[in-house]
Structure 1
Amino acid sequence: MHTVGDAAKEPDPESGTVRPYFEDLPLESWEADDASPSEPGPAPRSPWWRTVLPVVVALVLVSAAVFVVPAFEDERAPETDAASAGDTTMSSLASIGDNPLLESGTVLADVSCDLPPLRSDEKRLREFYAAQLRCLEHAWEPALTGAGFPFEPVTVDLSDDPVTACGDLPPADQATGLYCAEDTTIYLPRERTLEAFGLADEAHIATLAHEYGHHVQHLSGILSDANEQLNRYPEGSPPDRELGRRLELQANCFAGAFLAGASGRGSISNELARAAVDDFRNWIDSDTHGASETQREWATRGYQRGDVGHCNTWHAPSEDVV
C-alpha cells in the first residue's frame, strides 16, 4: 500500500499498554441506529451511524469512541452499480478539495501554548482544555479568515451526561464523546475521557487537536460539502466509506499542522509534540478511518509539512486513504 509520510510502526510493547484509538466522522446532528457495535479485536469495524455521517472515536483499552455529526436532509441515493460509483468517486470528492483553506501556502500561525498541569478533577481538566483551545484558536483563526471564512469559537463540555444539539450521547461502550456542529461544542464526558486516556498529555492534546480539526472543517464548509457528496452514494458502499476516511484523515493532518506550529514553544516541547503526533498510531485499523499506519502518517504529514495545503485528502489518490 502506498502511504504518506513516515511509515508507522507497531507500538513498542515495552512502552506500556497500547491506549485507545479514536474513530470519528463529522455530523451536525446525530441519530443512532439499532446496529450492534463491533466487538474489540485486531481490526474492529465500528458501527456506521447511518442517518448521518458520524465521526466516532473508539479506543482500544476499553471500546470507546468520539463522534462528530452533520445532518442529512435528503434521503440516500438508490443503490447503484459499485464499479460505476467507484469511477466517479475521485472526480466528485476532488471538488471538496478546491476549498480556499486548502490552497498551498496556508500555514498556521506559530503559537506558544501555556498549558497547566493535567489533572483528573473537573476544574483542572477543564483548565487544561481551555488553555489548549486558546492556542488552537490563535493558530487557526488567521488561516480561516485569510481564506475568507468567518471564525467562530468552539467549547468543550465535560459533563458526564450531556444534552447536545445533535442528540443523546451514545453509550459509554460505544463512544467517548462527540463534536456537534449544531452547537459548535466538543463533548468529552470527564469520566469516559479519563478512562480512555488516563493522564497522558500527548493523548489529550492529540484528541482535542483532532476534534478541533472537525470544527475547522465545519467552519470552512468542508463538512457541508462532504455531506452533499455523501447522499450520492449507497450506504456502506466503497465511495461512502472512502469519503469518511478522507474526513478523518484530514482532521489528523490538521492536528499535525497545529502541533508543528506549537512544537518547541511554551508547554509543548518538541518531544511532547512528536509524542502527540505519534499517538495517532494507537488508532486501530478501521474501514471508516483507515489503517492505523495511515492515520498516523497523515498526522505526520501535517506535522512535517506545516502547510495546510498538504492536508488535502480530497485530492489524494485512493491508495493513500486506506
Structure 2
Amino acid sequence: MHTVGDAAEDPARERGSVRPYLDDLPLELWDSDEPAESGPGSPRRSWWRAVLPVAVALVLVGVFVAVLPSLDPSLDDGDSDLPGAAPGSDEPVPSLASIGDNRLLRSGTVLAEVRCELPELGSASERLHAFYTAELRCLERAWKPALNRAGVEFAPVAVDITDAPATACGELPPSGEATGLYCAEDATIYLPRTRTLDAFGLTREAHIATLAHEYGHHVQHLSGILAAANGQLNRYPAGSPPDRELGRRVELQANCFAGVFLASAAGRGSITDDLGHAAVDDFRNWVDSDTHGASETQRRWAARGFRHGDAGHCNTWQAPSEDVA
C-alpha cells in the first residue's frame, strides 16, 4: 500500500493569492461539533444515523468521522487506549488497516484517459447545470472502467443545483455551514446555485475541483470505504481528536481521487494542462481545518493523485497521522 512520502515533487504550481474558500465536509456530521450527549460511548444524533453511510461532502466548515483502533490486536495501530474509545461491540468494526486494504486502493487502479468537452461556464441555471452535467459524464467515463476492474459495482450519480433541494439525507445545513453535499441515499451531488456562485464565482478550476471531490465521495461509497468508516463512528466522542482525524482521512482521500481524475483528463479537450494544474492547486484555497487538514495538506493529497494517476496512491488510511494533519 502507498503512503504520502513522495508528495514534495508534485506538479501543482503556485498561482495567485489564496481565496477564502470554505471547507468541505459530510452532511450527516455537519453539526457534530456538539459534545457527546452522554459520554464517550453515546450514540450520535439519530436523524443522520438512519441514512448512514449515505451523505458525505460539503464545501464549507464542518465535521466528519475519526481514526479508530482495530478490534483485532494483530491490526491494532496503537490507539486502542485513546480516551473515549467505546468498549467492545457485538458488531465487528473494520480496523483502520482493513479500510486501507480496500480492493480499490490496491496499486493499479488507473483511470481511463478521457477527453472532457465542457460548455462555457455561466451563472444562469441552465449553463451552470450543463457545465456540471458535462463534467459528471466525464467523471463517469474515467471512473467506471477502473471500478469495474477492481470488482466494484458501478452506479451513476446525478447533480442538483436548485437552491432549496429536498434531499433524501435531510435538509441542507444553513448556507453559512455548507455549500453542497453528496447524498448516496438518492445518488445525488447537491451544489445549490446561489451558494456555489457565492463561494466560487465563475472560476472554472474551483467548480471542476469541487465536483471531482464530491464524486470522490461517491467512489468511496461505491467501494464500501464510507460504510467501513461510518461503522466506527461511535467508538469516539464527536469532535474528539481521533474523530477528527478519521474525518480528515476521508476528505483527503476524496481530494486525492479528484487529482487522479484530473490526471486522466488534463491535456485533452476542455481541461487543458494549465486548467488541470489550476484545479489541483485550487485545493489549497480550502481553509485550514482540523476536520479536513491544513490547506497545503489538502492540496498535497490532490497533487499526489494527479502525479500518480492511480487510486492506489490515495490510501490515506495507511498514511501516518502527520500526513493527514
TM-score range, shorter chain: 0.7 to 0.9
Distance verdict in 2 for CA 1:194–1:156, change over 3 Å: same
Shift of 1:210: 0.2
1:266 and 2:269 equivalent?
yes
- Mapping of 1:58-207 within 5 angstroms? 58=59, 64=60, 81-82=81-82, 92-207=95-210
**What is the rounded CA distance, in whole Å, between the counterparts of 1:82 and 1:276 in structure 2?**
37
Name the counterpart of 1:5: 7
* Structure 1 residue 250 corresponds to structure 2 residue 257: no
RMSD between aligned residues: 2.9
Q: Give the Å deviation of 1:285.
A: 1.1
Counterpart amino acid of residue 7 in structure 2: G
Q: Check conservation: 1:298, 1:311, Cα contact below 8 A.
A: yes
Letter in 1 for 2:138: C
User: Which residue does the alignment assign to 1:20?
Assistant: 21
1:230 and 2:233 matched: yes
AA paired with 1:158? I
Deviations 1:138-161 (A, max 9, x none): 000011111111111111111111
Whether the 8 Å CA contact 1:3–1:297 is kept in 2: the answer is: no
Contact 2:20/2:285 (8 A) holds in 1: yes
Change (3 A) 1:194 1:84: closer
Deviations 1:75-118 (A, max 9, x none): xxxxx852695xxxxx9211101111111011011000000010
Distance (Å, rounded) in 2 between the aligned partners of 1:145 and 1:313 = 22
- 1:23 Cα offset (Å): 2.3
SS of the residue corresponding to residue 186 of structure 1 reads strand
- Aligned CA distance change for structure 1 residues 147 and 310 (closer, same or farther; 3 Å): same
- What SS class does the counterpart of residue 138 from structure 2 fall into? helix
Shift of 1:193: 0.5
1:210: which partner in 2? Answer: 213
| CA deviation vs aligned residue, 1:228-284 (integer Å, no higher than 9, x gap) | 122222222222111100000000000000000101000000000000000000111
Percent sequence identity over matched residues? Answer: 64
Asked if the contact 2:32/2:239 (under 8 Å) is kept, the reply is: no
- Name the counterpart of 2:69: none
Amino acid at match of 1:243: L
The answer to whether the 8 Å contact 1:119/1:125 transfers is: yes
Deviation at 1:24, TM superposition (A): 1.0
1:303 to partner: Cα distance: 0.3
Uncovered stretches (5+) of structure 1, i.e. residues with no partner = 37-49, 59-63, 70-79, 86-90
Aligned length: 285
Write out per-residue CA displacement over residues 18-59 of structure 1, whole angstroms, 9 at most, x where no aligned residue: 14132213x6x57847959xxxxxxxxxxxxx635874545x
User: What is residue 74 of structure 1 aligned with on the other side?
Assistant: none
- Partner amino acid, structure 2, of 1:107: V
> Distance between the aligned counterparts of 1:162 and 1:255, measured in 2?
25
What is the CA–CA distance in structure 1 between the aligned matches of 2:31 and 2:126, rounded to whole Å? 31
* Residues 41-60 of structure 1 aligned to structure 2 (within 5 Å): 51=45, 55=56, 57-58=58-59
- Contact 1:7/1:297, CA 8 A, preserved across alignment: no
Cα 1:285–1:34 shift into 2, 3 Å: closer
C-alpha contact 2:64 2:243 (8 A) present in aligned 1: no
Q: Is the 8 A contact 2:160 2:188 kept in 1?
A: yes
Indicate the residue corresponding to 2:285 in structure 1.
282
Amino acid at match of 1:82: L
- Offset, 1:167: 0.5
